[in-house]
């Protein structure tokens, strides 16, 4: 599966089968996460077989079931743009996981921060987690705001690469499906900015990753 297909097929999945993630996929994910951490300075961690983190009223309320594995998005509070970095690299892992046949869900609220087994140094912060495993189902397409609300460029004036990027941005996961971002074209350069509100900077990183992966053009 190529990355564009992974973007189309990725939906939040909250119910998981008991099947463990096979060792070869655990190794691949581990390598990927190590690479992302080296590049970004983040301290993302894959935590396996820890149902406790999602064994809370909040998680049940959020309709999570069978979550035993998750990726903790952790980083030094002093890292510039920590939220955006976490979103960007977390989404890279999410889309690679999708290509491996795994399902995921970004989770900032409906899990237990106290029971999370990630190592978090005193100068680090846990942004959120991403549940990961084999889903009971594949999830479904989210409702999206209209193109004109999210992008300044009229569809008929978009270069093909830009249109591919915008389509992928609209398919990106955002907290509470808020889609508080705006896409512009400055000369040849795509520019994506975040709206105001909680988690919009994490969303911004996620949306930028989707845009770049589908368009092949780096965002500002």
Ligand X SMILES: Cc1cc2nc3c(=O)[nH]c(=O)nc-3n(C[C@H](O)[C@H](O)[C@H](O)COP(=O)(O)O)c2cc1C
Which residues form the interface with ligand X (CB under 6 A)?
A: 11-12, 14, 62, 105-110, 128, 139, 142, 173-177, 199, 202-203, 206
Integer CA distances (angstroms), 145 to 129, 153, 169, 198, in order: 25, 15, 11, 18
Helices 200-215/160-170 angle, 10° precision = 140
The residue assigned the tokens 């830009």 is 162
The nearest distance, CB 59 to ligand X, in angstroms, is: 8
**Residue with smallest beta-carbon separation from ligand X:** 173
The nearest distance, CB 56 to ligand X, in angstroms, is: 11
Q: Which is nearer to ligand X, 37 or 178 (CB)?
A: 178
Q: Which is nearer to ligand X, 7 or 185 (CB)?
A: 7
Q: Which is nearer to ligand X, 13 or 46 (CB)?
A: 13
SS3 of residue 1 by DSSP: coil
CA dihedral for 26, 31, 36, 41, sign (positive or negative)? positive
The nearest distance, CB 89 to ligand X, in angstroms, is: 13
Query: How do 70-76 and 124-133 pair as beta strands?
Result: antiparallel
Q: Which is nearer to ligand X, 12 or 98 (CB)?
A: 12
């Amino acid at each position: 599966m190529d990355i564009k297909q992974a973007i189309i097929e990725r939906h939040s999945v909250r119910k998981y089968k008991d099947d463990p993630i096979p060792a070869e996929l655990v190794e691949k994910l581990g390598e990927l996460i190590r690479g992302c951490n080296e590049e970004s300075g983040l301290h993302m961690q894959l935590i396996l077989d820890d149902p406790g983190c999602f064994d809370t009223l909040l998680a049940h309320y959020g309709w999570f079931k069978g979550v035993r594995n998750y990726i903790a998005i952790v980083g030094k509070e002093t890292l510039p743009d920590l939220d955006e970095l976490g979103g960007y690299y977390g989404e890279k892992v999410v889309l690679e996981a999708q290509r491996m046949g795994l399902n995921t869900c970004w989770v900032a609220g409906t899990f237990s921060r106290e029971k999370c087994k990630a190592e978090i140094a005193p100068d680090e912060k846990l942004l959120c987690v991403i549940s990961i495993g084999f889903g009971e189902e594949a999830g479904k397409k989210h409702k999206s705001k209209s193109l004109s609300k999210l992008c300044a460029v009229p569809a008929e004036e978009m270069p093909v690469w830009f249109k591919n990027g915008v389509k992928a941005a609209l398919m990106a996961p955002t907290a509470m499906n808020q889609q508080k971002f705006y896409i512009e074209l400055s000369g040849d350069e795509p520019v994506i900015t975040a709206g105001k509100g909680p988690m919009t900077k994490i969303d911004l990183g996620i949306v930028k990753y989707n845009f770049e992966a589908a368009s092949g053009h780096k965002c500002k």
